[in-house]
Amino acid sequence: AQSVTQLGSHVSVSEGALVLLRCNYSSSVPPYLFWYVQYPNQGLQLLLKYTTGATLVKGINGFEAEFKKSETSFHLTKPSAHMSDAAEYFCAVSDSLTGGFKTIFGAGTRLFVKA
Amino acid sequence: DTAVSQTPKYLVTQMGNDKSIKCEQNLGHDTMYWYKQDSKKFLKIMFSYNNKELIINETVPNRFSPKSPDKAHLNLHINSLELGDSAVYFCASSEERGGGETQYFGPGTRLLVL
């Protein structure tokens, strides 16, 4: 079974600083990888995903992530944090099952943005 | 127009009661899911349906019973509620059940069992 590890349950950055949220996965096959964001009292929404092709994936709100197979990583970055980026971020991987897939979520990283 | 909607948004009830949560999606998707998010924000899949057929049934107590009357609806009924059932329950949908599909989440139902 695949798994996802997010390093750091909390990350704090200053407004305008680089955002780096770390995600490592375990998989014996090429994975499908996702980053979702959850704002307070809301459901999750997709930031970006990697399925095939280019390993640098661009998402919404200026976020991007790079799939590095050799490092089994899919870290999320944004060059300049904005106050509105404060939220919970979840990395996820699809785990294959007989007849389909299920999504395994990491434990989440809470991003704080200081003024 | 909400893509994935859940009712109720909040649910406070006593131990031992039976309750239902309803979910509807207007995206025309074939696959729907129920997730449980605990107090530490950990998100775990409970069930998944594809075109009204159950395809994922995780290790969930049989007090939880999903029902899909049609592919746009997936309801969750919980019998004999326990304190540990307190959580946020999210419904989600995706176009198909392939591994790379984006899931669209509802706003969640916050269940508190007293």
Looking at the predicted structure, is the pLDDT value of residue B98 above 80?
no
Contacts of A114 (CB under 8 A, 6+ apart): A12, A13, A14, A15
Q: Considering only CB atoms, which chain B residues are within 8 Å of A97?
A: 56
Report yes or no: B86 at the A interface, CB cutoff 8 Å. Answer: no
Q: Chain A: residue nearest B50 by CA?
A: A100
Nearest-angstrom CA–CA distance, B83 and B13: 10
Contacts of A61 (CB under 8 A, 6+ apart): A47, A78, A85
Contact B111, B9 (CB under 8 A): no
What residue spans of B17-100 are helical by DSSP H? none
Please give the pLDDT value at position A52: 85
Please, what is the average pLDDT of chain B? Answer: 93
Burial class (CB in 10 A: 0-12, 13-18, 19+), A37: buried
Mean pLDDT of the region A52-69: 93
Closest partner residue to B97 among A32, A44, A101, by Cβ? Answer: A101
% residues pLDDT > 70 (chain A): 94
Contact A42, B108 (CB under 8 A): yes
Report yes or no: B77 at the A interface, CB cutoff 8 Å. Answer: no
Burial class (CB in 10 A: 0-12, 13-18, 19+), A62: middle
- Residue to mutate among A49, A67, A105, A110, with most B CBs inside 10 A, is A105
A75: confidence class by pLDDT, cuts 50, 70, 90: very high
**Per-residue pLDDT tens digits for B13-54:** 999 999 999 999 999 999 999 999 999 889 999 999 988 888
CB contact under 8 Å between A49 and B100, yes or no, is: yes
Q: Considering only CB atoms, which chain B residues are within 8 Å of A46?
A: 102-103
B3: confidence class by pLDDT, cuts 50, 70, 90: very high
